[in-house]
Structure 1
Amino acid sequence: MKLYPIQCGNFKLDGGAMFGVVPKSLWQKTNPADEKNLIEMGMRSLLIEDGKKLILIDCGLGQKQDEKFFGHYSLYGDDSLEKNLSRYGFVKDDITDVFLTHLHFDHCGGAIEWNDDRTGYRPAFRNAQFWTNENHWQWATEPNPREKASFLKENIFPMQESGQLNFVPLPTTGNYGFAPDLKMDIIFVDGHTEKQMLPVIQYQEKTIVFAADLIPTAGHVPLVYVMGYDTRPLLTMEEKEKFLKQCVDNEYLLFLEHDAHHELASVKMTEKGVKLDDTFSFNEVFGY
């Protein structure tokens, strides 16, 4: 098995929204804002090569939205899913499975693209199966008013119409149907959105947790640094406290999906609770 970090692009979001009730004087120390109060964000996927399987965890915004939509998110840089897959010798048609932590547009938008005449949509990964869970699917297809703008129909329903949609059973450990030999578990969390899935992967004698939107950047490690986007922020804090203790006890490395500058992070216990220990690149830890 081999893992590859895949940067799908960069965008910006309002720093206040990303840190909720935490004052700017605190969060800007780790996530500095520009003159519009926007902070830099990454869209980092994780590619798992395991035998004949090539599994992609999340897939960024995609390219099918209009200029007005993308204008809200201040896209910058030249990273793309296709470009960074090619760095490792892969193309989208090689992907066998796309595992979606949740169905917000910045995590699943790249799964669906326009068809050739732009009259409809098709899977961007023609040979892949898409994986979510039934509870989250229902939440996303019957959205509450708070999250409606994050669950875009054009990202979600074409997966089902393609016949490539699958549900991970709840609860589950070990075998998920798509990779019976893969050493991976799933942590389910409900504070950000219903049944968000955090993959836990054993790799080269280390354990990596794809932290998704529970801990989107290294700056979000402190317990009360919770996004304003979360549907149940108090629940997020409970889940985060439990999760961070697991990370300390088991020496987990956090894979940071939305951190524009750091791929991996470690945490440590202090007198004031769990804090960020250090950040790393994949190259520093795994030699590539």
Structure 2
Amino acid sequence: MGKAYLRTITGSLFLGFVLLLFSCQENEDPGLDARVAIDLLDVKYSEDRSNQLMDVYLPANRNPNTTKVFVWIHGGGWVDGNKSEFKGFRPWLEEVQDDFAYVAINYSLYNISQGTNRFPTQEEDIKKALAYIKSQLPAWNVSDYVVLAGGSAGGHLALLHSYKNNEDNLVKATVAFFPPTDLTTFYGFSAFTNLLLENIMGGNPTNRKENYFNGSPLNFVDPQSVPTVLFHGDKDTVVPISQSKILEEALIAKNIHHLVEYVIGQGHGFSPQTNKELIGKMQGFLDGVLE
């Protein structure tokens, strides 16, 4: 009787231990296996608005010592576009980049019909996105070497964050394709530009002078600014090439490492072959400054 009772108790304890063990294993967060490539799509970086999403592409065999992070901000005049734009650039990047993770960001777009999400809503979204990325670096098993890039309005936002809001030095270099850099001088380029800026900025450079100043990357270049890459076509009828040239002058004056190339005969958007060539040149520059 005593032995049977002990066997029952022992068996119950063993069964309880096994159930507890399996329960712990099932509830345990396995983390993100750094040995395999993982795509994290539509990741929320803030709960403020529904569009605050990012796609994260983590490479296989990544580690926090060598795996850099390339962040892309889409264009669209601050009123259109989304993070899917990055899909066109990704193959060209992967051809020349080794051991990079990629992040493509959405941000709140200005709503023309409702007049909502005026600037600096977009700037604030990029700040939130970069803060979220920083918080996730250990979980993603990647380094804090971040390159912030974008085209057109995305290039403007990349430059603005890199020069103005990079207090934690997370961004180590910035890349911009045909970006607006000084909203005050950008105003007046065309009737379309004036209408767009007056709506987004809440007025013109005279009655909203501070808004235009604070939204212009050019005004925040200083001797500590990050290395910068600029590409602009000389036939650009959307953002004049002068926007990159005035920024180039400021980078030279402040002795900032930079690569600038003006593409002859092309406008606001380059051919696939040109994009491929420019991205190769960009990576050659980044390899030198991100060692």
Same fold by TM-score, threshold 0.5 exceeded?
A: no
Question: Highest relative contact order (Cα 8 Å, sep 6+), 1 or 2?
Answer: 1
More helix by share: 2
